[in-house]
Amino acid sequence: MAKPVKPRSYHAPRRAEAAARTRRSIAEAAGRLFVEHGYNAVTMAQIAAEAGVVADTVYAAIGPKPVLFRLLIERAISGEDGAVTPLERDYVRAMRAEPDAREKLAIYARAVRRIQTRLAPLFLALQAAAISEPELAQLWREISERRAANMRLLATDLAATGSLRVDISVEQAADIIWSMNAAEYYDLLVQQRGWSPERFEAWLIDAWQRLLLSDADPR
């Protein structure tokens, strides 16, 4: 009896690569449209046309519009094709390994500048859509709360260096960083007041070091 022939698998990597390219194309097209027109004004058919695919492909590759928008937010935060946990991010590892509080804040300010260049336009579109879209309102709250929790970890890390000002609690430090790393804050200074992203980064470094760290900490 002849042995069953196993299906060839050498096309699998090509298919996976093609699928990844399709997802990226859809995500990039959706991001452009959402930023330009707003979430509610954009249809899945428009996203498909912008990406050069049919609407069914958008649903099959990613999912319905709220799922697509969540993917865009996660991509903007991580700089990758999807969500990346905080401890897996390069800048977080660098901050945790750095013993100096001032340099920790400088590393993070550089990361915020890079992230907000991608995230701020999308996050403002998310904030506007959250008023009428319950799923996006939940996403907005989730991202905000996640960011607050991560800033609590950063503030705790700063306190462990012994350089945090004695008159500022870990909770206050976390709230200060949380308020200034927000997409809204980036938009105010960079988009509305015309600051360059590099100037914004330098401002964060200087402001956070002055606001949060003791004078005894060496520059």
Query: pLDDT tens digits, residue range 174-194?
Result: 999 999 999 999 999 999 999
Separation of alpha carbons 133 and 191, rounded Å: 25
Q: Domains in the chain and their CATH numbers? A: 17-63 (1.10.10.60), 84-212 (1.10.357.10)
Long-range contacts of 56-59 (CB under 8 A, 24+ apart): 57/22, 57/26, 58/26
Query: pLDDT tens digits, residue range 150-168?
Result: 999 999 999 999 999 999 9
Confidence of residue 14 (pLDDT cuts 50, 70, 90): confident
The pTM (predicted TM-score) of the whole model is 0.85
